[in-house]
Amino acid sequence: MSGARTRRQAVAAAAEAQTVAHNGNGKEQQVLAQDSAVDEVHENIFLFWPNIIGAKNLEGYVRIVLAIASLAWLPVHPRTSSLLYSISCLLDALDGYAARYLNQSTRFGAVLDMVTDRCTTACLLVFLSSAFPRWSIVFQGLISLDFASHYIHMFATLAMGGSDTSHKSVDASRSKILNLYYTNRTVLFLCCALNELFFIALYLLAFSSPLLSPGLLQIVPDHEAVAIQKGAEVNSSLLSHIFINPYSAGALELARANKMDSFWPWVLAIVSFPVMALKQIINVIQLVKASRWLAEGDITARRTKRLSKKA
């Protein structure tokens, strides 16, 4: 109640000061009235609900906490980690409603959104690089493309379009596919969701050695099973000496082996792969278009300053 009373008193004081200013008491009193009004409408952008739970073009602190928790469980708890990571990503789907309802879209939120997306995906790809070392160069390339594409696109939007221009405001004359990607919410959601789903499926496959399913493996005869079991006991004792650190690469790989059936991860990977590939193509297009936009601005600036290339 005291807070509400204080706000009402501030509003009344601002109105009274504005009235005095209109009665001809000079510019100084008008400035004071404006300062009072500014104090009254001061808002803490960092505590906007869209920034806390997720809003249009924004990501929330809740999503960051969930992402960190999922990354902490990455090495040996695939189900828990996948669940937390998926919830963190799905919070992005709720962003538009909260922002429009609360009228709390901010530039800070837009940057927080992009940084959260890039960092969480990069962290997952780093894990995949260690889980599938043969494909590490591919995952490293995807991380580089993702960061470079979005950074240059954001910078080009601010430099060429102005500080008030959203990075999602892409004119169709510049790129029809980027215009569709950023303006159609269904397309944007499906591309981002299935792109993350593909990497989650690969993450789950890291915990299952057989290509299809453990159920499809041949049954081993009893006498061979006994021999294998004896060998496993010897290997287990040797491994306990080799992998003294439980967080070493070899120990973690051993801990991941055959933890789950691989059938559904393969299904998810196959279904989501085309959209993931499309998302990477869009990243390349975004990188090229943003680079060309910046180059156009450089050419215009050089012509304005009458600069010419030295022989």
> Which residue numbers are catalytic?
117
* Rounded to 5°, angle at Cα 113 from 70 and 67: 5
Contact 288, 154 (CB under 8 A): no
Helices (H), 157-215: 176-183, 185-205
Q: Could you tell me the two tokens for 1?
A: 């109640």
Alpha-carbon distance of 272 to 266, in angstroms, equals 10
Neighbour-count burial of 57, counting CB atoms closer than 10 A to its CB (0-12 exposed, 13-18 middle, 19+ buried): buried
Would you say the C-alpha torsion 234, 235, 240, 242 has a positive or negative sign?
positive
Alpha-carbon distance of 3 to 33, in angstroms, equals 21
Q: Which one-letter amino acid corresponds to residue 301?
A: A
Half-sphere exposure of 294 (CA within 13 A, CB side): 14
